Amino acid sequence: MSDSAYVHGYSIEESQRLSDQANTLSHLLHHDSVFHPAGLVLEAGCGTGAQTVIVAPQNPQCSFVSIDIAEDSLAKAGENIKGNKIKNVRFQSADVFDLPFNNESFDHVFVCFLLEPLRKPVEALVSLKRVLKKGGTITVIEGDHGSAYYHPRSPAAQATIQCLIDVQASMGGDSLIGRRLYPLLVTAGFEGVSASPRIVYADAGRPEMVDGFTRKTFIAMVEGVRQPAISRGLITEEEWNRGIADLYRSADSDGTFCYTFFKAVGKKS
Amino acid sequence: MSDSAYVHGYSIEESQRLSDQANTLSHLLHHDSVFHPAGLVLEAGCGTGAQTVIVAPQNPQCSFVSIDIAEDSLAKAGENIKGNKIKNVRFQSADVFDLPFNNESFDHVFVCFLLEPLRKPVEALVSLKRVLKKGGTITVIEGDHGSAYYHPRSPAAQATIQCLIDVQASMGGDSLIGRRLYPLLVTAGFEGVSASPRIVYADAGRPEMVDGFTRKTFIAMVEGVRQPAISRGLITEEEWNRGIADLYRSADSDGTFCYTFFKAVGKKS
């Protein structure tokens, strides 16, 4: 987004990670991402379309305008929906802080993993509110890296997670934003705000979550900040390696892992 | 229980707290505490009957034997079920590590907040398995104090929670046991183990949870270790007071609070 670098790159591995995440989590996050009444939906920060390919098909009564500031991501998103034969989405390059739309253009706004890297999340929400019709809804989904815990516990593993939090904070983001969605939406002036946690839990009895979430989503995301964390002196290479090995222990047959996303819905009155 | 002191006293305030907790959380924890096929249920560690008064009436097809090692708790539990006109419970004083029942006496075992203070939770589960019939089920519910997080974040508040964790650990307990239920049941030899998180989330849109859980359950529990925490030098009185004030901030209109319980079910084959 315009006001900070985005911690994730747009490598092939990253695209794969975002797709893996969306597939594993789609029910948990999106089973209730259904927009009534039918109308025009603005998806802000669509990235490579990982959420678009889930949410657009389950809302055939709606037309989507999915925006992102990154042109290369939009190109991938376009291929993504073509591959999925989705017809109700139009992509557009746009900055969430300077939206090229008239006031009250949209019936619904949908935002997933947009706010976390932003320095000014309330201003982003206020900007989105401008283009939302009166009576329209906003849906916001964000993670919270402070919600991650696991067995066996490990200070070394926790240090690597803290590196992820610190690297994202150094770029102006707040990766613990999930728990703040309710006050953020209220502060931005939305009404009837309802927030709910969506907890991901993985143990050996749920092998698809262990692989799809613990390993390929969460640990992969932590591993994504290896280089900046070590080069900035947040952690030594040895400590890093030990911490990552300990994180993988939580994906063993006697390990468990928890992480919570938050979803909030509000109305413009 | 026999192998460690229990961190909660049995004061009137404590009885009230356990009741408040049970009322607020009953749906979240017990909506699926239903035992099939009908039969004899052993509730181990019933305390003052806070869970008994919820679970026994919703299982009229079953008879309960509810045990605890503390006679004064059992006396209160007896009054509790009489007041609630519950007829399918018999209370008995017993030690979970030395159960006065024959092998394979029960169709189901139900355990809620029993394991946390125990030094040897697996041995407790193995002892309970002995009195369970083949094909019978065990249901275990425990909290996890490491799952608590909140907004606004506060190192001072976190220090008071750490005191609670440390005081419980010093008596041999593990107040972060919730995340370990799956491996504990597997280690104890149960099969088909299924564990699930039960997340409590409170914000100003859910005032009954803010009052019933954030204030009257969680913060009240933390405040319960004020004296031992300060007298053992884990924290100064000033730090304690600041931390508790910060915890109460999470119950303000712009605050949020999360805590997760875990429930696991296994079978004896």
Separation in Å, CA of A145 to nearest CA in chain B: 11
Q: Choose among B197, B201, B204: nearest Cβ to A201.
A: B197
The rounded distance, in Å, linking the Cα atoms of B34 and B12 is 30
Which residue has 């359950």 as its token pair? B217
Question: What's the confidence (pLDDT) of residue A258?
Answer: 98
pLDDT at A15 over 90: no
Q: Tell me if A201 and B195 make a contact (CB, 8 A cut-off).
A: yes
The rounded distance, in Å, linking the Cα atoms of A241 and A235 is 10
Amino acid at A31: H
Q: In terms of C-beta distances under 8 Å and separation of at least 24 residues, what long-range contacts does B209-214 make, across chains too?
A: B209/B24, B210/B251, B210/B257, B211/B251, B212/B20, B212/B21, B212/B23, B212/B24, B213/B21, B213/B24, B213/B25, B213/B257, B213/B259, B214/B150, B214/B250, B214/B251, B214/B257
Is the separation of the CB atoms in B84 and B48 below 8 Å?
A: no
Q: Residue A119 — very low, low, confident or very high, per pLDDT cuts 50/70/90?
A: very high
Q: Choose among A179, A182, A187: nearest Cβ to B205.
A: A182
The rounded distance, in Å, linking the Cα atoms of B54 and B57 is 6
Question: What's the confidence (pLDDT) of residue A60?
Answer: 97
Q: Tell me if B180 and A144 make a contact (CB, 8 A cut-off).
A: no
Q: Residue A4 — very low, low, confident or very high, per pLDDT cuts 50/70/90?
A: very low
Which residue has 């007896």 as its token pair? B78
SS3 A188: coil
**A184, A252, A258: which to substitute to probe chain B, counting the most B Cβ within 10 Å?**
A258
Beta-carbon count within 10 A of A10 CB = 15
Q: Which chain B residue has its CA at the smallest distance from A193's CA?
A: B205
A154 contact residues in B (CB cutoff 8 A): none
The answer to whether B2 faces chain A, any CB pair under 8 Å, is: no
The pLDDT tens digits along chain B (269 residues) read: 333 444 444 456 666 655 555 456 888 999 999 999 999 999 999 999 999 999 999 999 999 999 999 999 999 999 999 999 999 999 999 999 999 999 999 999 999 999 999 999 999 999 999 999 999 999 999 999 999 999 999 999 999 999 999 999 999 999 999 999 999 999 999 999 999 999 999 999 999 999 999 999 999 999 999 999 999 999 999 999 999 999 999 999 999 999 999 999 999 99
Q: Tell me if B194 and A205 make a contact (CB, 8 A cut-off).
A: yes
Separation in Å, CA of A205 to nearest CA in chain B: 7
**A158, A177, A182: which to substitute to probe chain B, counting the most B Cβ within 10 Å?**
A182
Tens digits of residue pLDDT in A56-109: 999 999 999 999 999 999 999 999 999 999 999 999 999 999 999 999 999 999
Q: Tell me if A187 and B149 make a contact (CB, 8 A cut-off).
A: no
Question: What's the confidence (pLDDT) of residue B13?
Answer: 63
Mean pLDDT in residue range A213-241: 97
Q: Choose among B150, B197, B255: nearest Cβ to A199.
A: B197
A201 contact residues in B (CB cutoff 8 A): 195-197
CA distances for B110 relative to B43, B107, B175, B182, B183, angstroms: 5, 10, 19, 15, 18
Q: Tell me if A256 and B180 make a contact (CB, 8 A cut-off).
A: yes
Q: Residue A215 — very low, low, confident or very high, per pLDDT cuts 50/70/90?
A: very high
Q: Tell me if A183 and B260 make a contact (CB, 8 A cut-off).
A: no
Q: Choose among A153, A182, A260: nearest Cβ to B176.
A: A153
Separation in Å, CA of B182 to nearest CA in chain A: 7
Which residue has 């037309």 as its token pair? A63
Q: Respond yes or no on whether ipTM tops 0.85.
A: yes
Mean pLDDT in residue range A258-267: 98
Between these two residues, A11 and B40, which has the higher pLDDT value? B40
Q: Choose among A151, A182, A260: nearest Cβ to B183.
A: A151
Question: What's the confidence (pLDDT) of residue B8?
Answer: 45
Question: What's the confidence (pLDDT) of residue A11?
Answer: 60
B113 secondary structure, DSSP code: S
The answer to whether A204 faces chain B, any CB pair under 8 Å, is: yes
Cα angle A71-A72-A77, degrees, rounded to a multiple of 5? 95
The answer to whether A146 faces chain B, any CB pair under 8 Å, is: yes
**What is the rounded radius of gyration, in angstroms, for the C-alpha atoms of chain B?**
18
Mean pLDDT in residue range A9-35: 71
First to last CA, chain B: 27
**A122, A145, A149: which to substitute to probe chain B, counting the most B Cβ within 10 Å?**
A149
Cα angle B83-B88-B94, degrees, rounded to a multiple of 5? 90
The rounded distance, in Å, linking the Cα atoms of B110 and B35 is 9
pLDDT at A191 over 80: yes
Mean pLDDT in residue range A129-153: 98
Q: Tell me if A147 and B258 make a contact (CB, 8 A cut-off).
A: yes
pLDDT at A173 over 90: yes
The rounded distance, in Å, linking the Cα atoms of A263 and A248 is 28
The answer to whether B20 faces chain A, any CB pair under 8 Å, is: no
pLDDT at A47 over 80: yes
Which residue has 């070590």 as its token pair? A230
Between these two residues, A262 and B1, which has the higher pLDDT value? A262
Question: What's the confidence (pLDDT) of residue A25?
Answer: 82
The answer to whether A93 faces chain B, any CB pair under 8 Å, is: no
Q: Choose among B153, B180, B260: nearest Cβ to A151.
A: B180
The answer to whether A191 faces chain B, any CB pair under 8 Å, is: no
